[in-house]
């Protein structure tokens, strides 16, 4: 009998695919949460970290493997596991007090007890005076405080946090984090362990005792990093910076795993990052300019450009796919073609972009080839969509097709008409 | 305001699915079954007559109260139906496949044609008593209210934000509790809007269903509808005027005392708050909210409600999101398919027997031809109404102050049962000896054109101020402004209004294509007149044929014309 709050073993999650097959989201997940720990789940988009959180919350029964909470398998929402949501998930028609009381009412407690505990939670989280306000009257930060109060009031053993600060502005997020850590450090929170999903590396280092790094498609844990810095942590502390750098390096390492983990488009079914051509050339230009002059430390340039991991990595992935940059060991570097691109004028840039796109993104080359083969040079979108859907989820197929369309438009490689939903080789003249 | 399309616009796909076919068969089968049953019951009932109605205006308040009561009872029934039917459709994917097309087809069945069949059926259940006729009238009103309410509730249930669903599951709300705490509040604003629409539409039917003659049976229920029927028979224009005045007052009271407060109250349930729009207000709601007496009187109810809400039902295992493929699962599918197949076969048999019985191919041809005549009328009328109301709607909608004045008036006019005005029009046609084929037609759209107006007004007021400023800045004016800005911006709204208007016009054709004034009877060439005529003759087979053909026209036009147009407009011109 383990003393673990939460014990996940060999968890696998799949989603049904359009062709009747299955799409693997999480694979071989092992995770233990001990009392008094904050565990961070860190990974890029598509790494299944939110899926893992929802599995722990009992919102998705495992496809295989086990989730054990205090010795019991989790197959449905368990008492003692509460969640704080990214978009707050407050009921707009209930007041702050009513929102906080909701979880207690579901427990069937007597009215007096409900009221007492709700007011105590409101007091603890700093919402005094707002009891009768409706969520729409509150700022984002105050709304998320309600989200916290609502979760804490049921006295959960485990608190699940799904990117709770990412919808807030920088200053508000920092205040809320600090307040939370203070209460947690002082032992004022009625919780025993926390699982935090985040895409913000600094946030993870600031808050967590252990950080699990996820690879994407499918999500696997690639690395576990223990954070032994004392609370309160200082972002400028060299040890803090080292850890951030270390995580960047780990997250950009060329993975030796066989398929579809690195940002290299190997076949037409590679999921393409959703980045505009503008962002791509924007990062190239920033990289070429002083003080980087073609080579930059990822955390440094991310900080400079105010980009978080979820914003930065898709751009660097896209550029890497097109062989315009190289990323290794936490550094990003312009390739020779990348340099040519930055120096060129608009028309020349488009030509370079088209060459790289058709050479290194198989889906773009595939669409163009099909269009060339057809007598009228027109093909319906559904033809490619169905093809993609056999290899990825509907949402990913949607995204990938949209990305390739956006890139091809910039490169003038082929055109797309949204009214008729067809690709064609003709650009309007 | 989220657009509220009165037809299913699920997706591009095919125009018809096999589920539509099943739905059509089931409805036709049921109609024919009821019609067949009614035919045998008709004879012994022929003497039944309701209470005599008198034209004394002093009776009008009582008649109005009775008419209103029927509406309220039907509304309560519609709500019960909505909460059960739509919830089942949204929660159970097997049920959903059939229930949604069923609702979509039911919406296109002309209720007025239906009344004659159901009225005899219900009276047979309670023979010789007024109760049967009352129930039939209430049922008829119910059928005019329920479908779009259920549809809206179903659509809302399907779009409850995922995070809120997850939150209520995470906090382990029981299904009962999350239904009342999450699903119903989320659906409330749309539902109330639909209740208003239903109410508006059903004034028309309550008036038509109070005095109806089927074959030799004449059913008269005391109410405003039968009052006006008597006034027509006796060619009493003054009485018609009294009835119109009464109705106007009733609708005004309804609006101020029931719906304004409801809309103002439901504002808190709106999920997304559009900036710049003033929240709806109601003096009635303010009075209710501030009154201590009301507070004290309602407190016991609030306590009971709270206990009901928090009632803990015997704990059941949470339904897993992913159904495992177990044999039990397959068994349920099998049962479901078997039951459905049995009913469909029964319906098919019913239809088959009906068709072979005494409907000839030439009957069908006649009905289709008449349908085409009515169709061409409706097309022309919608076109004329659009040419008139779209520019006016845009003009009004882009002027906030005018819009605030016009919008309630348009809604009031849509609620006003236009059939009350028919006698005036008909007496004019008789007096001036005009051609009924042309001059009866406008009556069909008299009550429904307002849907075009107030939807266009809503669309035009939704054009963002920035967009209008940009147009002004680039000196986009005149025809270019209409072509590039105003018309595209209001198109999704216009289509929504036009769908409602055209659906309503089909229905109205049943009372508008035939009209009488005392002994003068006017009749136009059309399917509506056909149904009305067969109703008067008590020929159930031909009534059903007429209804089926009319439903066919409505469904086909919705699927082949309106749905693609709506999806196109929604995708291309939706702002924001």
Classify domain A6-252 by CATH architecture.
Answer: 3-Layer(aba) Sandwich (3.40)
Q: Which residue of A has its CA nearest to B163?
A: A89
Identify from A67, A102, A108, A114 which residue to disrupt to test chain B contact, counting B C-beta atoms within 10 A and taking the largest count: A102
What region does B174 belong to: left with phi over 0, alpha with psi -120 to 50, or beta? beta
| Cβ pair B318:A83 closer than 8 A | no
pTM: 0.81
**Could you tell me which residues are beta bridge partners of residue A213?**
A42, A223
Among B163, B166, B167, the residue to mutate for chain A (most A Cβ within 10 A)? B167
Dist CA B512 CA B520 (whole Å): 15
- Residue A311 confidence (pLDDT): 80
Verify whether the Cβ–Cβ distance A108 to B312 is below 8 Å: yes
Question: How many CA atoms within 13 Å lie on the side-chain side of B567?
Answer: 16
Confidence of residue B470 (pLDDT cuts 50, 70, 90): confident
Tell me the domain boundaries of chain B.
18-280, 282-313, 359-576
Q: Which tokens in the block code for residue A317?
A: 């992935």
Residues with Cβ within 8 Å of A343's Cβ and at least 6 positions away in sequence, in order, are none
What residues of chain B lie within 8 A of the CB of A87, using their CB?
161, 163
Cα–Cα distance measured from residue B87 to residue B80, given in angstroms and rounded to the nearest whole number? 11
Tens-of-pLDDT digits for all 429 residues of chain A?
Answer: 456 899 999 999 988 776 677 888 899 999 999 999 999 999 887 788 889 999 999 988 899 999 999 888 998 888 889 999 998 899 988 999 999 998 888 888 888 999 999 999 999 998 999 999 999 889 989 999 999 999 999 999 999 999 999 888 888 999 999 999 999 999 888 899 999 999 888 899 999 999 999 987 788 998 999 999 988 898 889 999 999 988 888 887 755 443 334 455 667 778 888 888 888 999 999 999 888 888 888 888 888 887 777 788 888 888 988 999 988 777 888 999 999 999 999 899 999 999 999 999 999 999 999 998 888 889 999 899 988 888 777 888 888 899 999 999 999 999 998 888 889 987 654
| Cβ-defined contact of B174 to A106 (cutoff 8 Å) | yes
Cα separation, B11 vs A95, in Å, equals 37
Kindly identify which residue of chain A lies nearest to residue B571, measuring between CA atoms. Answer: A419
Tell me the C-alpha distance between B456 and B197, whole Å: 16
| Nearest CA distance, B161 vs chain A (angstrom) | 9
A43 vs A262: CA distance, rounded Å? 13
CA A78 to chain B, closest CA, distance in angstroms equals 8
A103:B172 CB<8 A: yes
- Residue A33 pairs in a beta bridge with A6
> Which positions in chain A have a beta carbon within 8 angstroms of at least one beta carbon in chain B?
54, 57-61, 63, 75-77, 79, 81-83, 85-89, 91-94, 102-103, 105-108, 134, 136, 150, 154, 419
Q: Which of B265-269, B285-289, B442-446 bottoms out in mean pLDDT, i.e. has the lowest?
A: B285-289
Interface with chain B: mutation pick from A80, A93, A98, A112, highest number of B CBs within 10 Å:
A93
Domain B18-280: state its class. Answer: mainly alpha
**Residue percentage of chain B with pLDDT more than 70:** 86
CATH of the domain spanning B359-576: 1.10.3720.10
Where does B171-272 have alpha helices with state H? 175-178, 184-209, 224-233, 237-253, 260-266
> What single-letter DSSP state applies at residue B58?
G
Which residue in chain B is spatially nearest to A101 when comparing CA positions? Answer: B171
3-state secondary structure chain A: CCCCCEEEEEEEEEEECCCCCEEEEEEEEEEEECCCEEEEEEECCCCCHHHHHHHHCCCCCCCEEEEEECCEECCCCCCCEEEECCCCCCCCCCCHHHHHHHHHHHHCCCHHHHHHHHHHHHHHCCCCCCCCCCHHHCCHHHHHHHHHHHHHCCCCCEEEEECCCCCCCHHHHHHHHHHHHHHHHCCCCCCCEEEEEECCHHHHHHHCCEEEEEECCCEEEEEEEECCCCCCCCCCCHHHHHHHHHHHHHHHCCCCCCCCCCCCCCCCCCCCCCCCHHHHHHHHHHHHCCCCCCEEEHHHHHHHCCCCHHHHHHHHHHHHHCCCEEEECCEEEECHHHHHHHHCCHHHHHHHHHHHHHHHCHHHHHHHHHHHHCCCCEEEHHHHHHHHHCCCCHHHHHHHHHHHHHHHHHHCCCEEECCCCEEECCCCC
Cβ <8 Å between A83 and B273 = no
Whether pLDDT at B317 is above 60: no
Residue-wise pLDDT for B58-76, tens only, equals: 888 888 888 888 888 999 9
d(CA A425, CA A367): 10
Q: How far apart are CA B193 and CA B1, in angstroms?
A: 10
Instruction: Decide if B321 and A150 are in contact by the 8 Å CB cutoff.
Output: no
Q: Is B310 close to A61, i.e. CB distance below 8 A?
A: no
Residue B177 and residue A154: Cβ atoms within 8 Å?
Answer: no
* Position B434 confidence tier, pLDDT thresholds 50, 70, 90: confident
Question: Is residue A255 a contact partner of residue A83, using CB atoms and an 8 Å limit?
Answer: no
Nearest to A89 among B164, B310, B321 (CB): B164
Task: Note the Cα B341 to chain centre separation in Å.
Answer: 30
ipTM of the complex: 0.80
Whether B170 and A81 lie within 8 Å, measured CB to CB:
yes
Of A77, A87, A91, the CB nearest to B170: A77
Same fold, B18-280 and B359-576: yes
* Partner residue opposite A106 with nearest CB, options B171, B185, B269: B171
Sorted by where each begins, the domain ranges of chain A are 6-252, 277-424
Question: How many residue pairs from chains A and B have C-beta atoms closer than 8 A?
Answer: 78
Instruction: Assess contact for A106 and B351: CB atoms under 8 A.
Output: no
Nearest to A77 among B172, B181, B312 (CB): B172
pLDDT tens digits along A379-405: 999 899 988 888 777 888 888 899 999
């Amino acid at each position: 009998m383990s003393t673990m709050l939460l014990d996940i073993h060999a968890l696998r999650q799949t989603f049904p695919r359009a062709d009747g097959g299955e799409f693997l989201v999480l694979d071989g997940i092992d995770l233990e949460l001990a009392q008094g720990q904050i565990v961070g789940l860190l990974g890029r988009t598509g790494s299944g970290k939110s899926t893992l959180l929802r599995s722990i919350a009992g919102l998705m029964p495992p496809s295989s493997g086990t989730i054990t909470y205090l010795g019991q398998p989790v197959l449905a929402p368990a008492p003692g596991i509460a969640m704080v949501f990214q978009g707050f998930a407050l009921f707009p028609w209930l007041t702050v007090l009513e929102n906080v009381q909701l979880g207690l009412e579901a427990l069937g407690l007597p009215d007096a007890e409900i009221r007492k505990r709700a007011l105590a939670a409101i007091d603890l989280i700093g919402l005094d005076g707002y009891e009768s306000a409706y969520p729409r009257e509150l700022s984002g930060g105050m709304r998320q405080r309600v989200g916290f109060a609502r979760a804490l009031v049921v006295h959960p053993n485990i608190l699940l946090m799904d990117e709770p600060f990412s919808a807030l502005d920088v200053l508000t997020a920092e205040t809320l984090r600090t307040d939370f850590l203070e209460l947690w450090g002082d032992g004022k929170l009625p919780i025993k362990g926390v699982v935090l999903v985040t895409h913000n590396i600094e946030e993870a280092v600031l808050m967590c005792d252990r950080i699990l790094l996820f690879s994407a498609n499918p999500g696997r844990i690639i690395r576990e990093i223990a954070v032994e810095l004392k609370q309160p942590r200082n972002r400028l502390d060299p040890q803090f910076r080292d850890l951030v750098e270390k995580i960047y390096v780990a997250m950009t390492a060329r993975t030796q795993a066989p398929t579809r983990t690195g940002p290299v488009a190997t076949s037409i079914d590679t999921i393409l990052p959703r980045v505009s051509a503008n962002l791509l050339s924007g990062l190239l230009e920033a990289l070429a300019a002083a003080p980087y002059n073609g080579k930059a430390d990822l955390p440094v340039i991310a900080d400079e450009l105010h980009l978080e991991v979820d914003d930065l990595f898709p751009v660097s992935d896209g550029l890497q796919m097109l062989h315009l940059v190289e990323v290794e060991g936490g550094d990003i570097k312009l390739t020779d073609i990348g340099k040519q691109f930055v120096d060129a004028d608009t028309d020349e840039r488009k030509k370079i972009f088209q060459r790289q796109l058709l050479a290194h993104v198989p889906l773009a080359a595939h669409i163009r080839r099909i269009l060339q083969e057809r007598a009228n040079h027109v093909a319906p979108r559904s033809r490619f969509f169905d093809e993609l859907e056999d290899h990825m989820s509907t949402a990913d197929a949607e995204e990938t097709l949209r990305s390739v369309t956006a890139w091809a438009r910039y490169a003038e490689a082929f055109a797309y008409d949204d009214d008729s939903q067809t690709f064609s080789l003709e650009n309007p003249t | 305001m989220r657009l509220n399309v009165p037809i299913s616009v699920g997706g591009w796909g095919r125009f018809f699915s096999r589920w539509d076919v099943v739905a059509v068969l089931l409805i036709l089968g049921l109609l024919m079954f009821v019609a067949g049953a009614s035919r045998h019951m008709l004879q012994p009932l022929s003497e039944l007559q309701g209470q005599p109605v008198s034209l004394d205006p002093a009776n009008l308040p009582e008649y109005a109260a009775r008419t209103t009561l029927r509406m309220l009872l039907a509304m309560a029934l519609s709500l019960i139906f909505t909460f059960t039917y739509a919830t089942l459709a949204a929660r159970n994917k097997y049920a959903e496949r059939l229930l949604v097309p069923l609702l979509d087809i039911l919406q296109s069945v002309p209720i007025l044609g239906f009344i004659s069949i159901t009225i005899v059926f219900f009276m047979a259940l309670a023979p010789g008593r007024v109760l049967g006729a009352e129930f039939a009238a209430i049922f008829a009103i119910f059928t005019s209210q329920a479908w779009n309410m259920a549809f809206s509730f179903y659509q809302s249930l399907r779009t409850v934000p995922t995070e809120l669903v997850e939150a209520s599951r995470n906090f382990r709300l029981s299904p009962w509790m999350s239904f009342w705490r999450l699903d119903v509040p989320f659906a409330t604003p749309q539902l109330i809007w639909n209740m208003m629409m239903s109410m508006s539409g059903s004034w028309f039917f309550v008036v038509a269903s109070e005095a109806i003659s089927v074959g030799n049976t004449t059913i008269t229920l005391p109410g405003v509808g039968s009052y006006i029927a008597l006034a027509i028979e006796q060619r009493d224009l003054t009485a018609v005027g009294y009835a119109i005045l009464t109705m106007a007052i009733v609708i005004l009271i309804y609006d101020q005392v029931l719906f304004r407060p409801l809309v103002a109250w439901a504002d808190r349930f709106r999920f997304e708050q559009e900036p710049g729009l003033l929240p709806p207000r109601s003096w009635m709601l303010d009075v209710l909210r501030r009154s201590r007496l009301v507070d004290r009187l309602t407190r016991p109810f609030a306590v009971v409600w709270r206990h009901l809400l928090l009632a803990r039902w015997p704990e059941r295992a949470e339904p897993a999101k992913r159904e495992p493929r177990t044999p039990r699962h397959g068994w349920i599918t099998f049962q479901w398919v078997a039951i459905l197949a049995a009913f469909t076969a029964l319906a098919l048999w019913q239809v088959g027997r009906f068709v072979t019985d005494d409907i000839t191919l030439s009957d069908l041809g006649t009905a289709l031809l008449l349908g085409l005549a009515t169709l061409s009328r409706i097309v022309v009328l919608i076109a004329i109404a659009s040419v008139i109301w779209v520019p006016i709607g845009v003009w009004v909608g882009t002027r906030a102050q005018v819009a605030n004045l016009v919008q309630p008036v348009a809604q009031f006019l849509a609620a006003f049962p236009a059939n009350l005005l028919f006698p005036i029009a008909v007496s004019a046609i008789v007096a001036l000896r005009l051609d009924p084929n042309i001059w009866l037609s406008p009556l069909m759209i008299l009550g429904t054109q307002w849907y075009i107006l107030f939807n266009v007004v809503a669309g035009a007021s939704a054009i963002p101020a920035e967009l209008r400023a940009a147009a002004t800045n680039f000196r986009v004016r005149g025809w270019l402004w209409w072509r590039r800005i105003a018309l595209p911006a209001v198109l999704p709204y216009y289509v929504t209004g036009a769908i409602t208007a055209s659906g309503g016009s089909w229905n109205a054709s049943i009372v508008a294509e035939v009209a009488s004034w005392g002994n003068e009877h006017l009749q136009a060439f059309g399917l509506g007149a056909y149904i009305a005529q067969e109703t008067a003759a008590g020929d159930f087979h031909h009534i059903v044929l007429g209804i089926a053909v009319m439903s066919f026209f409505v469904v086909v036009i919705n699927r082949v014309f309106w749905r693609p147009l709506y999806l196109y407009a929604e995708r291309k011109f939706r702002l924001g």
